[in-house]
Each structure stands twice: as C-alpha cells, then as structure tokens.
C-alpha cells in the first residue's frame, strides 16, 4: 500500500513541477517580450530581437509571433510578415486540417460542403478561431496592397476565405466574419456574394441582438452602400450612406470617411447618351387577326429609331438634390405606306429629391410629354398628344432591398379629347442577386377619366424586370409585363402581355460604345375575336458622350 501511495505522490509531484515549469516559462516569455518592445522603442533592435528569437525557440508564444507579423508588415518586409502569419495559422489549425487545405482536399467550389466538413473539427477553440480571423483579415490586407507577385494574389484571397468560413462554420463572431467575407467578394467583383454576406450579417443582428462583434451596423451600411454604388445603384447606395451619417455613435474617422465618399458621389453630374436602333417590325400598322380575316394585310417594315437622352443631377444642399432629364425620340419607317406609324416624342422630367432621417427619401416629379404621330399604347389613329404628370415618390430601404411608393396624377390631351388619370404604385428591387438574376417588381393600380363619353377606365399595370450577366462583356435585360384595362367601350377594354429581351455588349477597343440587340413580343386582346400580335427585332448601338 505504501508503494502505491509513493507512486501516486510522485506522479502528482511530477505534474505540479511540470505545471510550475510551464508557468515559469510562460512568464519568462512574457517578460522577454515586454522587454523587447521597450528596447525597440529605444532603438536597441539587436538586443530586442535576441529576446524575441529566444521566445521563438521555446513553446509557441502568441504575442511574439503576432508582434513580428505587424512589425514586418508596417516596415514593408512583406515576405517576412507573411512567414510569421503562416506560423500563426498553422498553430491555430489542427494538423489534419492544415494538410487537407494545403493539398486542396477541401475546396471552395461548394461552400456548403466546405462548411460542413470544417465544422467537424471540434478541437478548434475560440482562441484558435480568433487567430484564424486575424490571419484572414491580414491576408486580405496583403492582397489589397498587392504586396507580393500578382500570380499569388488570388491564392491569398482564397486562403483568407477558407479561414473565415472555418470561423463561420464554428459560429465565431458571425457579423465580423460576414463583413470580412463581403470585402473579399468585393475584391473579386462578386457583387451578389458581397451583398449576400452583408445581408446575412444584418439578419443575424436582427435575430440575435448579438453584441459579440467589433463591426457596427453602421459599418455594414457603409459597405452595403459602396457595393450598390459599384453595382450601378447609385441612388440607393447614396441613400444608405446618408442614413449611416446620421448615426451619432460613429467615430470621427468614420464620419469623415462618409463625408468624403458622399462628396465624391453627390457632385454635379451631366451625361448625354445617343441610341440608334435599326428595327424590323412584323406588324407595323397594328392589324388585328380579325382584320386580317377580312382581307386587311399585315405589313412588315424596317425603321430608323433615334433616341437622345440628356441627364443632369446636382446636390443643392445637405437635404435636397435636383435631377433633370430630356428624352427625344424619332422613329421613321423605310417601307412604303407606313408613314402613319412614324412618330416623334419629347419628354422632359424634373425631380426634386429630399433626404429624410433613416433609410428614406422623398421626391416630387414633374414630367412633360409631347408626341406627334401614333400613340402605340392606346390603339388610336394618327394624333397629337401631350401629357403632364405630377408625381410624389417615397423610397425606403430594408435589409433585403429597396421599396418605392409612387402616386402620379396625369393630365392628358389627345386630338379630340382630354383625360385625367390618377394611380398608386409600389415597386421592390431586391439586393439579393446572382450572375443570372437581379429582380425588380412593380405594380400600379389606376383610374382614368377618358372624356368624350368614353366613361371611366380602371387599369392594372405589372412588370417584372431581370438583369443578367451573360458574360464579362454582355448583359441581358429581360422584361415581362401584363396590362389590363377595364372600360365599357370595347376598344378601351383589353389586356396585353409583353416580353422583351435586350442585350448590351461592351467593346474592348471603344469603351464609350455598347452594341445592342433585342426582341420585343406583344399580344393584345380586345375580345375573343380580336387580338393583335406584334414582334419587333432591333440591332444598333449606344454611345455615351
């Protein structure tokens, strides 16, 4: 019994001594590290690095390696900094996971599969995940400053993304992790993935009210604004940026950044675009199938379509901005006996925008339209038409997209009558997108007093618009619409389906020109016996002055 007692006491004594030695070694490393920092501050670098190198020979000392990463990075010795960054990552990762990532056994092509695989490594501690998050963000900085050969830059981003997804798989600081993933996606110009990461962070904050994050909701707003502006949604991005500036808790540095960025995007902007299309129309005179049965010929024609667009925007002061636009369109047909389908239109648009607190923006519009020729939307004879539209709009943002409410009042002058219309409409543009889709929905309900004993018209107008990236140089815009009009006078009681597919192609040698081509399909039915089918093909170019 005494022998067992002695053995047991010896084992206990061994562990106590080992623990004591480990504590002494750790304390000695801390002392050497702090002394080395003081020596560096005094300019005694040689003595300082002797102490730091002694720390590196012992067990892993996080503060020492972390310090060397930053020390060499700040002095632009990037390869040395990267070497110690790898030491940090290798310390945090289990050996098996290191090997699988290095050999490419776990790949990023399928994100969900990657996350499931790395989530099985339960030995990763919060401290390990903190190290991986730091390493990932530093790798992103390496990429941002292009500190190494260009061929290795994609590898740095890929490695950073893997480390961040490991953090995400173990639910470590979800908001900060998504924020960093969004920045990586922006660097790759992967806008859909960047937006998805920011919205995931917003959703996590909303559901959990988490405080375990360094990135504020305002910083998320700023990144989302930058993404949307880069993606062509300048108005929405500016609105989010404006909302972020109203947060009183942000740091002076962040407020200055917002102000500088906002000053850049709110400067006076003037733009002119010329659009030429050669159109082929298979039913230029809009002959119905009923009329064709009675012997009226369905005529096709080629047409020149010329369109000038002039756009001006200027920020008047902190709250108001002015937008003005002018559209001039002329379409002339080349075939004989189709002159009645020629038309010229002029449209002037004036908009006063007012920023409100929060993610909201109001605008007041005045639009003036003048048309000479056939009004292709209302099946009327040759006429002159003018229109004045007064419209109030209200925009507001949610984490998933932009909503817009509009309330237009239109005064219309036809050749033989006047009409008054009022409507209300709602549209939604989603921030969620991919290469093949970015959707916008719009619906309007309205009532129009037709005049000249034609009674009252009620109408429903709906649209779905989608933007796709066919390739790096080719965009596709798809538009589906349904329009329904209710009126006791039969020609004004109809419904119409339309579909349009429009391609725009960039030219490498001339950035100001876009090649454009597309097709429009329309089917309009007035009764069971009367319907109109029209198909237009177009090819041309757009020139941005």
For the stretch 104-148, pLDDT in tens is 656 666 777 788 888 888 778 888 898 899 999 998 888 887 767
> Shortest CA distance to 470 belongs to which of 512, 422, 506, 520?
506
Of 508 and 375, the structure prediction assigns the larger pLDDT to 508
Is residue 359 exposed (0-12), middle (13-18) or buried (19+ Cβ within 10 Å)?
A: buried
pLDDT at 261: 67
Q: For residue 268, how many other CB atoms are within 10 A of its CB?
A: 10
pLDDT band at 318 (very low <50, low <70, confident <90, very high): low
Q: Which residue has the tokens 């002959």?
A: 287
The predicted structure's pLDDT at residue 360: 60
Side-chain-side CA neighbours of 522 within 13 Å: the count stands at 20
Locus of tokens 């007035």: 526
In this prediction, residues 73-83 reach a mean pLDDT of 86
Q: How does pLDDT run across 1-36, given as a tens digit for each residue? A: 556 555 444 554 444 444 344 446 678 888 888 888
- CA Rg value for the chain: 33
CA–chain centroid gap for 377, Å, is 33
What residues does 275 pair with on adjacent strands?
A: 307, 542
Q: Is the pLDDT of residue 534 over 70?
A: yes
Mean pLDDT of 50-76: 84
pLDDT value of residue 399: 65
The pLDDT of residue 520: 93
Q: What is the pTM assigned to this prediction?
A: 0.65
Which has the closest alpha carbon to 195: 429, 355, 360, 475? 429
295 or 505, greater pLDDT = 505
Q: 3-class secondary structure for 401-412? A: EEEEEEEEEEEE
The pLDDT of residue 23: 47
Q: 497-531: per-residue pLDDT in tens? A: 999 999 999 887 787 888 999 999 998 888 666 78
pLDDT tier at 476, thresholds 50, 70, 90:
very high
């Amino acid at each position: 019994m005494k022998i067992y007692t002695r053995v047991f006491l010896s084992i206990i004594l061994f562990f106590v001594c080992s623990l004591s030695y480990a504590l002494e070694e750790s304390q000695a490393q801390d002392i050497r590290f702090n002394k080395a920092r003081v020596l560096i501050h005094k300019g005694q670098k040689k003595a300082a690095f002797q102490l730091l190198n002694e720390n590196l020979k012992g067990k892993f000392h996080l503060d020492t390696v972390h310090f060397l990463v930053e020390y060499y990075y700040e002095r632009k010795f990037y390869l040395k900094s990267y070497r110690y960054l790898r030491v940090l990552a290798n310390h945090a990762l289990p050996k098996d996971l290191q090997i699988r990532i290095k050999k490419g056994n776990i790949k990023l092509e399928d994100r969900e599969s990657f996350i499931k695989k790395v989530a099985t490594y339960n030995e990763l501690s919060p401290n390990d995940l903190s190290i991986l998050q730091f390493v990932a963000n530093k790798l992103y900085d390496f990429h941002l400053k292009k500190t190494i050969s260009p061929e290795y830059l994609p590898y740095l981003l890929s490695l950073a993304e893997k480390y961040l997804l490991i953090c995400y798989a173990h639910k470590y600081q979800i908001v900060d992790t998504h924020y960093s993933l969004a920045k990586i996606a922006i660097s790759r110009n992967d806008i859909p993935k960047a937006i998805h990461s920011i919205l995931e962070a917003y959703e996590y904050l909303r559901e959990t009210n988490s405080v375990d994050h360094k990135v504020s909701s305002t910083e998320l707003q700023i990144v989302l604004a930058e993404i949307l502006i880069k993606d062509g949604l300048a108005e929405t991005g500016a609105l989010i940026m404006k909302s972020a500036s109203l947060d009183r808790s942000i740091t002076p540095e962040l407020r200055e950044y917002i102000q500088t960025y906002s000053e850049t995007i709110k400067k006076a902007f003037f733009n002119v675009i010329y659009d030429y299309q050669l159109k082929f129309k298979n039913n230029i005179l809009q002959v119905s199938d009923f009329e064709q049965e009675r012997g009226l010929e369905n005529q096709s024609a080629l047409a020149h379509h010329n369109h000038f667009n002039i756009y001006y925007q200027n920020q008047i002061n902190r709250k108001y901005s002015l937008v003005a636009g002018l559209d001039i369109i002329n379409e002339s047909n080349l075939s004989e006996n189709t002159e009645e389908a020629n038309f010229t239109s002029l449209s002037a648009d004036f908009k006063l925008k007012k920023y409100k607190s929060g993610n909201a923006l109001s605008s007041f519009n005045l639009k003036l339209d003048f048309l000479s020729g056939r009004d292709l939307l209302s099946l009327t004879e040759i006429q002159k038409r003018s229109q004045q539209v007064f419209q109030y709009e209200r925009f507001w943002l949610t984490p998933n997209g932009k909503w817009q409410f509009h309330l237009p009042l239109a005064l219309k002058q036809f050749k033989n009558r006047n009409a008054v219309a009022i409507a209300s409409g709602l549209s939604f543009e989603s921030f969620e997108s991919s290469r093949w889709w970015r959707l916008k929905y719009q619906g309007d309900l309205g009532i129009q007093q037709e005049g000249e004993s034609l009674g009252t018209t009620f109408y429903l107008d709906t649209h779905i618009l989608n933007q796709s990236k066919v390739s790096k140089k080719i965009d596709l815009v798809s538009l589906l619409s349904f329009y329904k009009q209710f009126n006791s006078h039969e020609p004004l009681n109809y419904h119409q389906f339309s579909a349009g597919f429009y391609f725009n192609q960039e030219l490498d040698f001339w950035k100001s020109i876009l090649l454009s081509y597309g097709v429009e399909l329309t089917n309009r039915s007035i009764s069971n016996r009367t319907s109109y089918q029209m198909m237009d093909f177009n090819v041309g170019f757009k020139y941005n002055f």
